[in-house]
Amino acid sequence: MPASPVSFESIASLSSRLRSGATSPSKVAQALLDRIDHLDDKLHSFIRVMPDHALARAQAAEKSAKAGGKAGLLNGIPYAAKDLFDVKGQPTTAGTHLLADNIARLDSTVVGKLDAAGMVLLGKTHTVQFAYGAAGINHDQGTPHNPWHKVPHNPGGSSSGSAVAVASGLVPFALGTDTGGSVRVPAAMCGIVGLKTTVGRVSRAGVYPLCWTLDSVGPITRSVEDAALVFQAMQGPDAEDASTAGIDPIDTLKKLKAGVKGLRIAFAETVFFDDLDPEVEKAVRETGKVFSALGARVSSMAVPEAAAAWAEKNRGLLIPAEACVWNGRFLDKHMAELDPVIGPRMLGGRNLSAPDYFLLLKRYAELREQLEQTLGDIDVLITPTTMIPPKPLTEIEASYLEHNTLYHRNSGIGNILNLCAVSLPCGFTSGGLPVSLQVYAKPFREDMALRVAYAYEQATAWHTRHPDLAALR
């Protein structure tokens, strides 16, 4: 099936055509539903396509556009939601057949916000079971196919289906969640953009939780501008999520295109560049030349808090400890039915004592405070998103735990330190697989992370490349 005009079109461009009347929300939705029907049997990005819901929403968007011209930039724009987000009347399965009857009574707050903006939800995408895994493998409901290689390679996790759908031109944007890299890692593996937001910036109400201390919600898109556009509609305080209390929305569009001249950009040398795949390191190091040419003040610096965060003896128990609270009934009564790479790891969370749990939270709070002093007037940090590029699934299955760490170390440190970040493509390996850099900004400075990422994106052409989906048929 040849790409339709909307397959890889940006939200900004599509919005312009919709508002001019050159096309309609119903035509756009139907074109992408047809594309999903033709391609997703191979890609396996969607767990549930919702054509009736989508076309009804598209028709509502058309009516809104005709009723006084009040429709905004996102009106009529299609998207997909990771199957952690509640959608009224639909099951939220969180990657397991055990939640097949978990029918949502209400929309999650974020889905409600996007609905109010006129966006058109086409369906729900696959995730790693309980969102607990960076490699992107799901032995229960199936693993999405990374579109950059005809041999099955990992798509990254846990927002695996969302990233594959966006990279393959099935939707221009998909919702993801990020607890240890679950937006950024799949975005990196699929050669697209992922925004990890600061905890408290976007409501998590109605989103199946993994670890409430670290869980965040963010967009996966094909361009930085698209990420900024949808993030603008997603953010804001919500009475249903206490972490958002008192946190006012930030305008990410005002200075998005202001450039990086005079900004202080530093390569974060501590931990982040250790033991990298050589092609990954080379591609990320090369980004410094681009930033310098754009007028930024580029340097390197030690970030001792990163090493301290990663070295904490109980670091690996925080996520499973909190996850056990939500999923204990499955661990106790259905262990044999759980994904074998998920259940045993999650069960280990019960080994974290209450005193050690609170000491760990205290230590992380201290490191976050120390990092603020370390960064000083540095605007952003640059790191590789992942240590290695996508790998064949057979290779990952042979040593799952090792590979899982290789994918989430650089992103997971940012969750611990509550930084916000953008992952975006910065090259390709000799085998044609994507490589990404990570732009870290201080907490609640998503505007700065997006601004720096946009400047790099516009100065390079990596984001213009798309996978050859014909090779997958």
Indicate which residues carry an active-site annotation: 82, 158, 182
DSSP state of 151: S
State the Cα–Cα distance between residues 460 and 294, nearest whole angstrom.
11
Dig out the tokens for 468 from the structure: 């050859």
Identity at 434, one-letter amino acid code: P
State the Cα–Cα distance between residues 95 and 136, nearest whole angstrom.
11
Q: Which residues, at least 6 apart from 89, have a Cβ–Cβ distance to it below 8 Å?
A: 103, 104
Q: Which residues, at least 6 apart from 273, have a Cβ–Cβ distance to it below 8 Å?
A: 267, 281, 383, 384
Does 158 sit behind a cis peptide bond, omega within 30 degrees of 0 on the bond before it? yes
State the Cα–Cα distance between residues 417 and 398, nearest whole angstrom.
31
Q: Which helix or strand (DSSP H or E) is residue 311 part of?
A: helix 304-311
Which of 88, 6, 75, 81 minimizes the C-alpha distance to 46? 81
Dig out the tokens for 69 from the structure: 């011209």
Q: Which residues, at least 6 apart from 232, have a Cβ–Cβ distance to it below 8 Å?
A: 249, 251, 252, 253
State the Cα–Cα distance between residues 175 and 124, nearest whole angstrom.
9
Neighbouring C-alpha atoms within 13 Å toward the C-beta of 138: 30
